[in-house]
Amino acid sequence: MVENELDSTSGVPLYRQIKEILRAEISSGQVNVTRPMTEAQLLERFGVSRAPIRQALRELTDEGYVYRKQGKGTFPIPGHRFDRSPNVPQGGLQAFLSDRGLEASSKVSTPSRAPAPTWLRQRLKLSGPDPLLHFTRLILVEGVPLADAEIFLRCPEDFNPTAKELRVTGSAFALLEKTYGVTLERAEHEAWATPATTAYATRLNVEPGSPLLAIETVFYTTGGVPSGWRIAMHKPDEFKYRFDTLIPPRT
């Protein structure tokens, strides 16, 4: 199939082919963000009826790739979008992005031991100010910051991974499981919107006060032991967190 040409024999609906072509162009910055994407232009380009064009634009709008300006038309929003599925394992975001063909990398601070503050001792049900393993991880895509995380882990005293080991594996829990057989059982999340502090603005390359998506996580290992805490800040226009909700049967 020639690039940007529709294939009527592929079995893929025309609207989906159009959507994927436009999404790739928007994400890679090939489009002029000041020029509206009109139905007339797309009809002429793809040679289809209005129905698949409208469906493609509707889904691109829902997914945040374009926006409609009253009386002006539909405009593209440049940049990548990342839809994190609930099936992505904890610590697996970097690998997930790489599997999608993106150049994902991370910067990890030198791990150190730090006493747990009172509020964190309560969250992790610690009886005393036991030192926790502490480090930060900045995830980048195509060299652009996407998410900035701070992590505290409750782990054996002789567990002292290097920044390189944490960067390569993408997950401290993967190292814990390999070394000690400690298995991550579940994780609880809380999410909210918050303005970027000066520190987060610098690390994520946004303006101070810009909206960020904060996701706080408590990790539980086998037996329901609360063994770790993480706060991660994400650019909300580039990151979507998807989750499932179980509906109990009616009685």
Per-residue pLDDT, 10: 83
pLDDT digits (tens, 9 = 90+) for 45-78: 999 999 999 999 988 887 777 888 877 888 887 6
Flag whether 109 is in a domain: yes
Q: Under a CB-based contact definition with an 8 Å cutoff, are residues 67 and 75 in contact? A: yes
Confidence of residue 103 (pLDDT cuts 50, 70, 90): confident
11 Cβ contact partners less than 8 Å away, ≥ 6 residues apart: none
Q: Are residue 89 and residue 157 in the same domain, yes or no?
A: yes
Distance of CA 74 to CAs 64, 129, 208, Å? 12, 55, 29
Q: Exposure of 85 by Cβ count < 10 A (0-12 exposed, 13-18 middle, 19+ buried)?
A: exposed
Between residues 52 and 86, the one the model is more confident about: 52
Per-residue pLDDT, 153: 95
Q: Are residue 89 and residue 19 in the same domain, yes or no?
A: no
Q: Are residue 49 and residue 114 in the same domain, yes or no?
A: no
pLDDT digits (tens, 9 = 90+) for 136-157: 999 988 788 889 999 999 999 9
Between residues 10 and 156, the one the model is more confident about: 156
Q: Are residue 178 and residue 203 in the same domain, yes or no?
A: yes
